[in-house]
Structure 1
Amino acid sequence: MTDLSAAPNPLLSTASLPDFSAIDPLHIQPAIAELLAQAQHALEEVTADGAPADYDHLSRVLNVATERLGTAWGAVGHLNAVANTPALREAYNAALPAVTEFSTALGANEALYAKYKVIATQPGLTPERTQLLKHAMRDFVLSGAELHGEAKERFARIQERSAELGQAFSEHVMDATDGWAYYATADELAGVPADVVANARAAADKDREEGKEQALIPGAHKLSLHFPVYMPVMQYADDRALRERLYRAYATRASELGDKPEWDNSQLMGELLMLRQEEARLLGFQNFAEASLVPKMATSPAQVMDFLRDMAGRARPFARRDLDELRDFARAALQMDDLQAWDMAYVSEKLKEARYAFSDQEVRQYLTLPRVLDGLFRIVERLFGVQLVPARASVWHDSVQFCELRRDGQLIGQVYLDLYARNGKRPGAWMDEVRGRWTRPDLSGAAAEQIPVAHLVCNFPQGADGKPALLTHDDVTTLFHECGHGLHHLLTRVAELGVSGISGVEWDAVELPSQFMENFCWEWEVIQQLSSHVDTGAPLPRELFDKMLAAKNFQAGLQTLRQIEFALVDMRLHAEPGAETRIQELIDEVRAEVSVNPPPAFNRFQHSFSHIFAGGYAAGYYSYKWAEVLSADCWSAFEEEGVFNPATGRRYLDEILSMGSVRDAMDNFKAFRGREPTIDALLRHQGMA
């Protein structure tokens, strides 16, 4: 066992950035225990009878202690998501109950709530403080501060158990993804892109060196359920049986139909839903969906479901047309009369190639990750007058990049880029904050400016045969999406914790800046900056871009209905009594109402639906569609005034990106657009006007 007693604990460091490479699982328990004790002492100090009801005092004592705890625990949680090991997982899970218990007690502390009530009535508050206190008062109520006795104790137990269940759900999805492999022959991989095949061969070679029996098959290629492997196989593999094999494995991950019973999330989902409903009733709501919407833009579950059903009605004719075209093409061109779920991506790609005379694989050759990143950085500089400059910092994997964000030479933010898929890393893409912008006080009364720091995480394929990673256009869009979240966090001018960056922004508005950035991926001037052929260095030809543009809304109807299906399932699971006992039945009802092409009966997408069971989107998945309306309307201003019009970019920065949550999201939107949003731009952008 490693002896760490002589070395300083990196989680207790007061340095501006976590020393990720130095963090060992053995550091977690002692550091978190010490930071919890410090935070508890700070809480007792500010809630003592003689303590002043003064926000500056409270901030110097309590906020400094809890922010330090949050930064350390955030580093541990981040490593648990991107560099998971059995030892790290064990240490994280061991510390999770104590962290959850403190967080729950803090949010429900009656004495602290009383201090906030007094502070909120004091004259001369800044707009930042006024909004911060408004959010805090609301959150105290939602955190159980007005509960008493058994109800309060039960609320705390629900929080602790829910945290355990969410973590277990995420672990099961990761383990089921990492734990599945199929060793394919070269013949089975006919049609699959060469770099994917090369990486699969390299993965099998590595397993063979480690003595894994299945890898000993001559010519073996290791396939996994990681998206950079799974999706190209589904799109391009001519072998229908291989596509079905992967689809079944992917669609049944972490379910009762999966490989291992211990990874089955069925019971966890039911218990989580039951606990959420109980929590909502303790707080005086009829259901969890009502409670979830209190800090959001939407006002009721009925309003959200009406919005989703209206969108479904608008999209359904286009989705039926998409499906009819796909079936007709499959019969006529591929002699495929019974189109199955594992054929959809393959036939869609063939249809797109036939109709628009290009393939995603052809486009990938022009989109190397280094060139795309360089182009993205230049676009950010042109739009917002800031530079992303490579820098050095302690990281958790040698592929992680670190950048500083500078304006006129001044450091204003920092960001970690972890862009490649690997075992031990959670699937998907996300942005997370390391710390927020804050004029940080200390006990002497002085203050220091704390700059915002972010993680930007994706799961792209590694490069093969000495070449850089190749991205699909969808990958590029994902990168721009997460960059939009990052810019929202990093470009804030608000220096008050709780309302700076993305903190406090309504959940159904927080996707606005991310979806807004996706639009740049469809501009010719931008594509020229992002593209460089992997072999020749030539930019993507205009003719090929025009074909991409023509295909932009290819199957937009089907894609829209799919997102609405997920959102409606989420809202109904959290709004209807007894939903925890009929999850699959409810999902089948939604599919019968919304889908024009329901998946097979064995599909268990909900068992890996981490957004709502482990990722904070419970009763909030509709946010993606809701925010699409906002982002499309914002983008239409750039269409009207010029994509790189400096005045428009400055107005967007001033009224939306930099404002944090000092104003409500709708007020930010109206300040930028001069009116309330309409759905017209979204329908036009998606070819459904």
Structure 2
Amino acid sequence: MAKFLKFDCNLENFILQLRQHLDDNNKKIDNLLKQEKKTYANFVKPLEMMDEYLEQFFTPLSHLNSVNNSEKTQQVYTESLPLITEYSTQLLQNIDIYNAYKKILQNEITSLNVEQKRVLELNILHFELSGAHLDKKTKQRLQEINIKKSELSNNFSQNLLDATNAYEYIITDEADIEGVPQSEIKNAKFEEDGVTKYKFTLQMPSYIAYMTYGKNRAIREELYRAYVSRAPQNAKIIDELLALRNEMSQLLGFKNYAELSLATKMAKDEKSVLGFLENLLHDSIPQAKNELQELQNIAPHKLKSHDTSYYAEILKKAQYDIDEEEYRPYFEQKNVVEGMFLFLNKLFCITCKQVDEELWHEKAYAYDVYENNILKARIYLDLEARESKRGGAWMHNWQTHCSDEKGNQQLASAFVVCNFPPSSDTNPSLLRHDDVVTLFHETGHTLHHILSEVNENEVSGVNGVEWDAVEFPSQFLENFVYEPQVLKMFAKHYETNEIISDEMINKLVRSKNFLSAMGMLRQLEFSLFDFKLHTKVYQGDEVQNLLDSIRNKTALIKPPKYNKFQNGFAHIFSGGYAAGYYSYKWAEVLSADTFYAVVDENIFNSPIAKQYQNIILHRGGSQSMQKLYHALMGRDANTSQLLRLNGIKK
């Protein structure tokens, strides 16, 4: 058997193949259930691997729909979702499988290893959260809800992508692009009827460039208005999703969706989450107000939402004599990737070697990953923005490290996707430092998945990890992008090969927490809105009213009424973060605490870094993160390290 799957997705026959795959699985399930003496080996393991192989088959389609979106991928993906959802829901509501899992856990409790016990415990919990133990009518309704939710989430995401791609702002007056980075001007420039024009869009590199550097305030406001009012049709989807989530929660015996969400997380209850967020808010507001006043002092008019990025850049230059554009030549994309691999080699003894493989796009690359010179995994990088790719950045796992039914080892693989400035034969992809942070962040997720040494795929890598701990490894890795000895490994001028100077690094480090308290308030706004939104059923204007009430505490600049941020909040309406956006900050406590422990030991000579690799990365989701963290640090996480990381003084 080949170590890694070949990327292939036959769109023409995909639905037919998917139906066949699901039919085969259902027949296998029937046969497994007919066994009289069910054990972990003859029942649980085959079911586990069925799930793994189905994920391997389906992932190329979902990946293609995200990175090379077309009418065809949309059609096939949309058609496949109800099939997958119906199959998954029926599987998780199968009372016979549920009872078999409980009996196997009871019968084999003394002979099962830690990983196997965790698989059974999580499966039993997931069966109960899917209503396996409920009556037939309730299970039928839950299945209907899951199918509808899946459809609505897909529509939400597609509406957002379509709205982003549909908008463009054409500039003809060169005075209006003064100050915009040359790399972005090159990307925006085109000729039409003999006239030079510049096109700015809502794609992240283009949008951020004008909002940060564009001098024309009216254009900034127009771009901002277009961005925060995208996809108004998503308001109706939000109402439907919230109602369905609440109905599902109550059918399963929870008072609301927030309570249901916490059943699989580190946080104990609603009070714990809201108390955590409110305490951070309390500690951050005084410094945030001071930061805003500094910003207001340099503006010739009262600041509005579309002004903050522009004046923040001016203030940053004034306070730290730092111009992000001066740094971009030092962060040429390929140099950064190679330097990141070098850093990982020094920190974790990991080596990444590029392999020649035909992929979904000419700008995508494959690398084999070796740990201590042993082949461990494969990663795929697709880092540049294009119209057919949805915005943002993410890691998506494909294969999971595990042993199959015959004891053969399967290696892991994963995708790292970003939206960096596109390169061409004459224009290299020069990154902002924030882009470098993003790359390290997604690579942190990737390492968590691919370096797993767990043999049960359902708790290997990122599988089985509590949602409010899953950002821990990604945030941990991104923090190193401000460390001088790490930066010097890859920050070199793409034309001269000159290594970034100590002076430039010092400016970057000193400016790291520029307006950090304001940034903290923004994230807390998202987190509080998401969590409170799922504590009862909000509909129509109630959604906006809730957001406004939270903004009264968190938004030091009142957003305009046309700002309908919720219609673009993909994390909670088309991603997996519903009632869980707080997880970013919750996990950041773990990452900040671990990061400073490693830095205080001088990074490359750190015993804790090696323990982190062995305990957090190698053990995946085989135990709760609470247990793994105690094994790593010998104590609970120190929350004050999060404030230290953000430069916020209590």
Question: 1:401 matched to which residue of 2?
Answer: 365
Q: Secondary structure of 1:593's partner? A: helix
Does residue 418 of the first structure (1) align with residue 382 of the second (2)? yes
1:159 aligns with 2:128: no
1:265-320 deviations in Å (ceiling 9; x for gaps): 01001100000000000000000000001010011122111111110010000110
**Structure 2 counterpart of 1:236, one-letter code:** Y
State the partner residue of 1:212.
none
Check the 8 A contact 1:18/1:394 in 2, yes or no. no
The yes-or-no answer on 1:298 pairing with 2:267 is yes
Residue 139 of structure 1: aligned partner: 126
Q: Which residue of 2 aligns with 1:9?
A: none
2:26 aligned with 1:40, yes or no?
yes
Q: What are the superposed Cα offsets for residues 492-539 of structure 1, whole Å, 9 maximum, x if unpaired?
A: 111111111110001001111100011111111111112111332211
Alignment RMSD: 1.5
Compute the displacement of 1:633 (Å).
Answer: 0.5
Other-structure match for 1:564: 524
1:366-387: per-residue Cα shift (whole Å, max 9, x none)? Answer: 1111111111001111111110
After alignment, is 336-345 or 593-602 more displaced? 593-602
Counterpart residue number, 1:466: 426
- Equivalent pair of 2:4/2:411 in contact (CA under 8 Å): no
- In the alignment, the residues of structure 2 paired with residue 64 and residue 669 of structure 1 have an alpha-carbon distance, to the nearest angstrom, of 28
CA distance in 1, matches of 2:45, 2:469: 31
The residue that corresponds to 2:180 in the other structure is 192
Tell me which residue corresponds to 2:256: 287
State whether residues 239 and 538 of structure 2, in contact with CA within 8 Å, keep that contact through their aligned partners in structure 1. no
2: CA distance, partners of 1:471 / 1:275: 41
Match of residue 301 from structure 2: 337
SS for the counterpart of 1:458 is: strand
What amino acid maps onto 1:347 in structure 2?
Answer: Y
| Deviation by residue 1:154-194 (Cα, 9 ceiling, x = unmatched) | 00000000000000000001111111112212332111100
SS in 2 for 1:76: helix
Q: Distance in 2 between matches of 1:553 and 1:96?
A: 42
Bigger drift between 403-412 and 490-499 goes to 403-412
In structure 2, distance between residues paired with 1:480 and 1:79: 23
Q: Specify which of 559, 562, 565 is matched with residue 599 of structure 1.
A: 559
What is the match of residue 31 of structure 1?
17
Q: Distance in 1 between matches of 2:568 and 2:101?
A: 40
Residues 382 and 420 (structure 1), Cα distance of their counterparts in 2 relative to 1, 3 Å cut: same
Change in CA separation of 1:465 and 1:75 when aligned onto 2, cut-off 3 Å: closer
Choose 454-463 or 280-289, whichever is displaced more.
454-463
TM-score, structure 2 length as denominator?
Answer: 0.97
- Alpha-carbon distance, 1:81 to partner: 1.0
- Whether 2:60 is the aligned partner of 1:75: answer yes
Which residue pairs with 1:500 in the alignment?
460
1:327 matched to 2:272: no
SS at match of 2:426: coil
Q: Which residue of 1 aligns with 2:543?
A: 583
Indicate the residue corresponding to 2:241 in structure 1: 272
**Structure 1: how far apart are the matches of 2:288 and 2:121?**
43
Which residue of structure 1 aligns with residue 211 of structure 2?
A: 234
Q: Is the 8 A contact 1:412 1:452 kept in 2?
A: yes
Deviation digits for residues 46-77 of structure 1 (CA, Å, limit 9, x no counterpart): 122x4432121124543333322221111111
Whether the 8 Å contact between 2:242 and 2:537 is mirrored in structure 1 is no
| CA displacement 1:475-498 (0-9 Å, x = unmatched) | 100100001000000111111111
Name the CA distance, whole Å, in 2 between partners of 1:252 and 1:44.
50
Which of 183, 193, 196 pairs up with 1:219? 196
Q: 5 Å matches for 1:534-553?
A: 534-553=494-513
Q: Deviations over 1:169-221 (max 9, x none)?
A: 000011111111122123321111001010111xx45xxxxxxxxx5471112
Contact 2:183 2:427 in 1 (8 A): no
* Cα deviations by residue, 1:591-615 (Å, 9 ceiling, x for unpaired): 0122222321111111111100011
Structure 2 letter corresponding to 1:645? N
The SS at the match of 1:530 is: coil
Superposition deviation, residue 98 in structure 1: 1.1
Q: Deviations over 1:619-678 (max 9, x none)?
A: 000000111111111112112222112422211111211111222101111111121112
Residue type at the aligned position of 2:196: G
SS at 2:196's partner residue? coil
1:60, 1:600 → 2: CA distance? 54
- Is 1:180 aligned to residue 167 of structure 2? yes
- Give the distance between the partners of 2:560 and 2:4, measured in 1 at CA: 47
1:297 aligns to what SS in structure 2? coil
Contact 2:398–2:415, Cα closer than 8 Å, also in 1: yes
Q: Which residue of 1 aligns with 2:625?
A: 665
For the pair 1:617 / 2:577, whether they are aligned, the reply is yes
Query: Which residue number in structure 1 is paired with residue 444 of structure 2?
Result: 484
1:407 is displaced (CA, Å) by 2.5
Displacement of 1:577 after TM fit?
Answer: 3.5
CA distance in 1, matches of 2:484, 2:70: 43
Give SS of 1:629's match: helix
**Range with greater deviation from structure 2 (632-641 or 163-172):** 632-641
Determine helix, strand or coil for the equivalent of 2:458: coil
Q: CA deviation at 1:422?
A: 0.6
1:246 aligns with 2:223: yes
* 1:169 has 2:156 as partner: yes
Q: Is the 8 A contact 1:499 1:505 kept in 2?
A: yes
Structure 1 pair 581/342, CA: closer, same or farther in 2 (3 Å)? closer
1:644 is paired with a residue whose SS is helix
In structure 2, C-alpha distance between the alignment counterparts of 1:299 and 1:131, rounded to whole Å? 19
Aligned partners of 1:45, 1:576: CA distance in 2, in Å?
Answer: 43
Q: Determine if the alignment matches structure 1 residue 150 to structure 2 residue 150.
A: no
State the SS of the aligned residue for 1:498: helix
Q: Which one is further off, 231-240 or 50-59?
A: 50-59
Unaligned runs of 5+ in 2: none
CA, structure 1 residues 402+412, in 2 after alignment: closer, same or farther (shift >3 Å)? same
| Residue in 2 that maps onto 1:639 | 599
**Counterpart code for 2:221:** E
Q: In structure 2, the residue corresponding to 1:25 is in which secondary structure? A: coil
Spell out, residue by residue over 1:306-352, the C-alpha distance to the aligned partner (whole angstroms, 9 max, x if none): 1111100100001101110000111xxxxx21212111100000010
Following the alignment from structure 1 to structure 2, what is the Cα–Cα distance between the partners of residues 490 and 53? Answer: 31
Q: Does structure 2 retain, via aligned residues, the 8 Å contact 1:195–1:465? A: no
> Distance between the aligned counterparts of 1:61 and 1:500, measured in 2?
16
Deviation at 1:464, TM superposition (A): 5.4
649-658 or 473-482, larger mean C-alpha shift: 649-658
Shift of 1:681: 1.1
Cα distance in structure 1, aligned partners of 2:536 and 2:49: 41
Taking the TM superposition and a 5 Å limit, the aligned residue runs for 1:668-679 are 668-679=628-639
User: Alignment partner for residue 440 of structure 1, among 394, 397, 404?
Assistant: 404
Q: TM-score normalized by structure 1?
A: 0.92
SS of equivalent residue, structure 2 residue 368: strand
- Residue 283 of structure 2 corresponds to 314
User: 4+ residue runs of structure 1 moved beyond 6 angstroms?
Assistant: none
Contact 1:573 1:580 in 2 (8 A): no
Alpha carbons of structure 1 residues 340 and 26: separation in structure 2 relative to 1, 3 Å: same
Higher mean C-alpha displacement, 300-309 vs 450-459: 300-309
Alignment partner of 2:195: what SS?
A: coil
Name the SS for the 1:233 alignment partner.
helix
